[in-house]
Structure 1
Amino acid sequence: MTDLIETQAPDTARLAHVLHRARAGHALLDATAETAALSLDDAYAVQDRLTALRLDEGRCHVGWKLGYTSAVMRRQMGVSVPNHGPLLDDMVRHDGATAAGFLHPRVEPEIGIVLGRDLSGPGLLITEVADAVAEVRACLEIVDSIWWDYRFSAEQNTADGSSAAGVVLGPALDVDPLRCHRVPVELSEDDVQLATAVSAAASGHPLHAVAWLAAELAARGRHLQAGELVITGGLTAATPLRAGRVLSARFGGRTTVSVRRPAGEPDAGLGAPTAGR
């Protein structure tokens, strides 16, 4: 058995295959056992290769998720900078969905932005981003890390697509995109309130988060495309989605989106984590 990441320069193709096989096999990997440093550029190279493996299986790219745009999420996970990952068509669910087959899912309420036209950075003004917005949506992100017990470095999390696993797409919010940072949010489990936030928690304004993503993609020769969905980062701490429970978020006091997990479904990784091969 060998380390997942070699002591020399990481083999990004091999690591992508390791992550892909582990998720397909419903097995968690032990990030703490790995010894070599993975740079952020390496991590995005792994992410790109992992995404390519998924697209080769017939999935389609539909947008992007942002991670760690809020202080509460950075504190919870010990990550100091934002990152991003892909959203694929089989990740998208609708309000009231049942989420089954995940490893150890957690849920975050987020502001979703649907783009009406292409955006290319860097240096986008918030007004330029607002002009490109087709809809502002209430969303719940389902994060589901391949790393055991959610213990990872920022680079390992980035390699795994920033834990992107699902997004529950709720109703459109009746809000001017320029004012979508003022939306109050309440997160509840089975109608018991767990946390509150304001949408400005995402980078001070969800559209700032979109501008940041556009700049990051531009640095890699890419751009945001019309029709893509961008979920702009968790507004509260990520909350475990427990079997038999419903998590819901209310946006602006009246718009609700929810997701449930089937009763009796166990988390993966209840035993020892595995190592890469």
Structure 2
Amino acid sequence: MTPPPTVAQAAEAIWSARQARRTLDAEATIGSPDLATAYAIQRALLALRLAAGERVVGWKLGYTAAVMRRQMGIDRPNIGPLTDWMLLGSGDAVHERLVQPRVEPEIGLRLKTALDARHAPVDRHTVAAAVEGAYACLEVVHSTWTGYRFNLAQNTADNSSAGQVVVGPRLPVTDLMALDTVAVRLHDGSGSTLGQGVGADADGHPLDAVARLARELAANGQRLEAGDLVITGGLTAACALEAGGRLEGVFSVGSAWSVEVGVHRY
């Protein structure tokens, strides 16, 4: 029986596959590690990114919405770091390394001050006081695992399928507590609706999602830094971005305002 790979070997396999635009069978590559080992692999994968010149710019929350957990057969949320290489502007094209990209609209929150749950309780009000602004975002997920066939630990090791993040316009909200009422639609280039949701689908409230992230980081001796971008979880099921295609997210509150963000693939 072949022994499971070491943490370093698993991270190298994931990194090499992503660089080479290949996908792998999750079970054959890393087996089924426990969640603690999966996060150790994720940290080793981040170390390879940092060694390649990338820098951490924030965090992603995965599976905060029930619709995403149902789609992927995952029973709880996870987290992963974002790097500067991952950031895109609205209308940009995804990188060619992403060979099976899917798109999901998310509310992004950028911090103006650090959040450290090691030293004081963090709740939605604490988060609101630390937030500089809310942004219309599209997460372009990309799994190293062929066909998105994975369990929670395998997905966590693969950085929760973090691919790239399209950071769109700032949402003109006057009260961050109202973010749970923001309506979101994902549609294709022809305007056909592919999915819809509301801000409350992210852990009950996007601010609560960030508070949970702060507590999880604190348990690992970390904190959220000033300037960090946190994407709070997909609000619709993730939809494939086909070659030559374009997907757009529309964020709105009633008829008061509407904000759009888009991404395409060559």
Q: TM-score, normalised by structure 1?
A: 0.90
Aligned residue number for residue 182 of structure 2:
183
Alignment of 1:1-277 (within 5 A): 6-7=3-4, 11-33=6-28, 36-101=31-96, 102-121=98-117, 123-175=121-173, 176-190=175-189, 191-252=191-252, 254-262=258-266
Native 8 Å contact 1:116 1:132 kept in 2: yes
The more displaced of 104-113 and 253-262 is 253-262
Native 8 Å contact 2:32 2:154 kept in 1: no
Gaps of 5+ in 2: none
Residue 38 of structure 1 aligns with an amino acid whose one-letter code is P
Aligned in 2, Cα 1:181/1:31: closer, same or farther, shift over 3 Å?
Answer: same
Residue 35 of structure 2 aligns with an amino acid whose one-letter code is L
Residue 58 of structure 1 aligns with an amino acid whose one-letter code is G
Aligned residue number for residue 274 of structure 1:
none
Residue 166 of structure 1 aligns with an amino acid whose one-letter code is Q
Aligned in 2, Cα 1:30/1:129: closer, same or farther, shift over 3 Å?
Answer: same
Gaps of 5+ in 1: 263-277
Residue 184 of structure 1 aligns with an amino acid whose one-letter code is A
Residue 247 of structure 1 aligns with an amino acid whose one-letter code is L
Cα distance in 2 for partners of 1:200, 1:137 equals 15
Percent identical among aligned pairs is: 49
How far the C-alpha of 1:71 sits from its partner, in A, is 0.1
How far the C-alpha of 1:33 sits from its partner, in A, is 3.5
Cα distance in 1 for partners of 2:210, 2:198 equals 17
Native 8 Å contact 2:143 2:161 kept in 1: yes
How far the C-alpha of 1:37 sits from its partner, in A, is 3.2
Q: TM-score, normalised by structure 2?
A: 0.93
Cα distance in 1 for partners of 2:14, 2:29 equals 14
Cα distance in 2 for partners of 1:35, 1:67 equals 20
Residue 20 of structure 2 aligns with an amino acid whose one-letter code is G
Cα distance in 1 for partners of 2:221, 2:27 equals 33
Native 8 Å contact 1:106 1:144 kept in 2: yes
Native 8 Å contact 1:32 1:151 kept in 2: no
How far the C-alpha of 1:192 sits from its partner, in A, is 1.2
Cα distance in 2 for partners of 1:186, 1:34 equals 36
Over aligned residue pairs, what C-alpha RMSD do you find?
1.4
